Structure 1
Amino acid sequence: MSGLRGLRFLAVRSLRRCCRPGCKNPAVATLTYVYSDSTAVVGPLATVDEPHSWDLCDTHGSRITAPKGWELVRYEGGFSSSTPDEDDLTALAEAVREAGLGDRGRSERAASTEDRAETGTQPGPARTGRRGHLRVLPDPAN
């Protein structure tokens, strides 16, 4: 590693393309199939490229249909190739954390707050009872 000390690395941003054959447009939406619910979901472009999801351009994302007998859920906010700002990401993370805790987490938090007030201890990490499906990504500016 000492030979690399003087080198500077440039951040290369990979441009994901629409997965439809012959389409070279940039992807702005992700199509995901939820097999257990027979639902196809077209939402904003996923942060990472998942093996069982398909990236679509604006044209294909707005025109795609679900298989016969399936329900199609389409994000109504429109698709954008810009990245969300930090406030949006923080709000989303908080909403996911709250949803993961559910009613059980709210009652446990209230009880543990009272216990901590009596004992003077700090809370530990919250556990939701299932393996997390969200990923922490490095800041692209660094």
Structure 2
Amino acid sequence: MVHEPSGRKMDVVSARSCSKSSCSQPAVATLTFVYADSTAVIGPLSRESEPHTYDLCASHAASFTAPRGWTVVTAPAPLEPEDDVLALARALADEPEAKPSYEDVGHRAGTQASDPRPQGRRRLTLVKDESDER
């Protein structure tokens, strides 16, 4: 545990290394076995280390071979790490303008509904949730 200059406590997160013996390279993928289906799944590095999973470096993830009769499923990794807020902002920026479907709802024939969308640039505001702080 580390203390910030403000006095607040912060947990130190250490980088995980490859689970293979004598390999000290940083882990980039997580290997999981699904015994019921005889399947090995190699996916992006999980957020937390979990029991019965193995963290692998890029070299060991690329050269992994499963036992005979097993299937290897490789889940695609994101091209670059991206947090949820950034992903949402990019998705909103790429969203084409959709025609509103509320034009005729609740209005008499011959009248046009006003456009409730604000003029100008769309914005995404991040609101801090006090319940997330520890």
What is the TM-score with the length of structure 1 in the denominator?
0.52
Alignment of 1:1-142 (within 5 A): 7-77=7-77, 82=81, 84-87=82-85
Gaps of 5+ in 1: 1-5, 91-137
Q: Work out the percentage of aligned pairs sharing the same amino acid.
A: 44
* 1:11 Cα deviation after fit: 3.5
Alpha-carbon shift at residue 87 of structure 1 (Å): 4.5
Please give the secondary structure, in 2, of the residue aligned with 1:42.
Answer: strand
**Relative to 1, partners in 2 of residues 1:88 and 1:35: Cα closer, same or farther, differing over 3 Å?**
farther
Cα–Cα, structure 1 residues 35 and 78, in superposed 2: closer, same or farther, change >3 Å? same
Q: Return structure 1 stretches of 4+ with deviation > 2 angstroms.
A: 75-80, 87-90
SS of 1:26's equivalent?
coil
Aligned CA-pair RMSD: 3.0
- Is the Cα contact below 8 Å between 1:20 and 1:56 reproduced in 2? yes
Which 5+ residue runs of structure 2 have no aligned equivalent? Answer: 1-5, 89-130
**69 and 88 in structure 1: CA distance in 2 versus 1, 3 angstrom threshold:** farther
Distance in 1 (CA, whole Å) between partners of 2:11 and 2:33 is 32
> In structure 2, do the counterparts of structure 1 residues 89 and 30 end up closer, same or farther at CA, with 3 Å as the change threshold?
farther
Deviates more, 1:7-16 or 1:31-40: 7-16
Distance in 1 (alpha carbons) for counterparts of 2:49 and 2:41: 15
CA drift of 1:79 comes to 7.2
Q: Is the 8 Å Cα contact of residues 15 and 26 (structure 1) preserved in structure 2? A: yes
